Amino acid sequence: MSNNPGLVGQARYRNAFRAAGAVLLIVGIVVFGYGIVSVFGSDGFPGGWRIACFIGGLPLIGFGMMLLQAGFLGAAARYGAGETMPVVRDSASYLTDGQGILGVGRTVDDGAVRAAGGSGPYCRACGVRNDADARFCDGCGASLA
C-alpha cells in the first residue's frame, strides 16, 4: 500500500489545471471583450462571428475558472481548515467540559488518569499495567500468573 493517499502524479495534474485555467480565463476575457465591443459598437446588425465571440467568451471564462478552482482546491481546503478547526476544538471543549468529542477539544490529561488507575503488575505480552488483584491482562487477556 502506498504512503501517499493522493492521486499518482497529483502535482502534475494540479499544475496543468492551474496553467490551463489561467490560459482559458485570459482567452475567454479577450474573446468576450472583443464580442462586447464588436456587437454593441456596430452600427448595423453584427455578423455571426461577432455574436459567437460575445456568447462564446462566457463559457471559456467559466471553464477557465473551473480549472483554476480545481488547481487551487487543496490550498483553499487547507486555509479553510486552518481557520475553522481552532473554533471547532474550542467549541467541543466548551460543550463537553474538557472531555472532547472523539478526541477533539480534549483538555484532560489522560496520562495522569491512566497512571493512577493501574497499581498492579505489567503484562508480559503487551506491557499494559493492570489492577493489583487482576489475574488476566486488561489489554490482551493473557494470564498474569
Tens-digit pLDDT profile for residues 42-57: 788 878 888 898 899 9
Q: 110 in a domain, yes or no?
A: no
Residue 1: its pLDDT value, please? 45
| Short-list 63, 104, 77, 87, CA closest to 6 | 77
Q: 111 in a domain, yes or no?
A: no
Name the pTM for this structure: 0.56
**Low-confidence residues of the chain: pLDDT under 50:** 1, 113
Structural domain boundaries, residue 52: 10-71
Instruction: Report how far apart, in Å, the C-alpha atoms of 126 and of each of 21, 107, 123, 131, 137 are.
Output: 55, 28, 6, 15, 9
Kindly report, residue by residue over 66-79, the tens digit of the pLDDT.
Answer: 999 999 998 888 88
User: Are the C-beta atoms of 105 and 92 separated by less than 8 Å?
Assistant: yes
Q: 34 in a domain, yes or no?
A: yes
Q: 27 in a domain, yes or no?
A: yes
Count of alpha carbons within 13 Å of 8, Cβ hemisphere only? 2
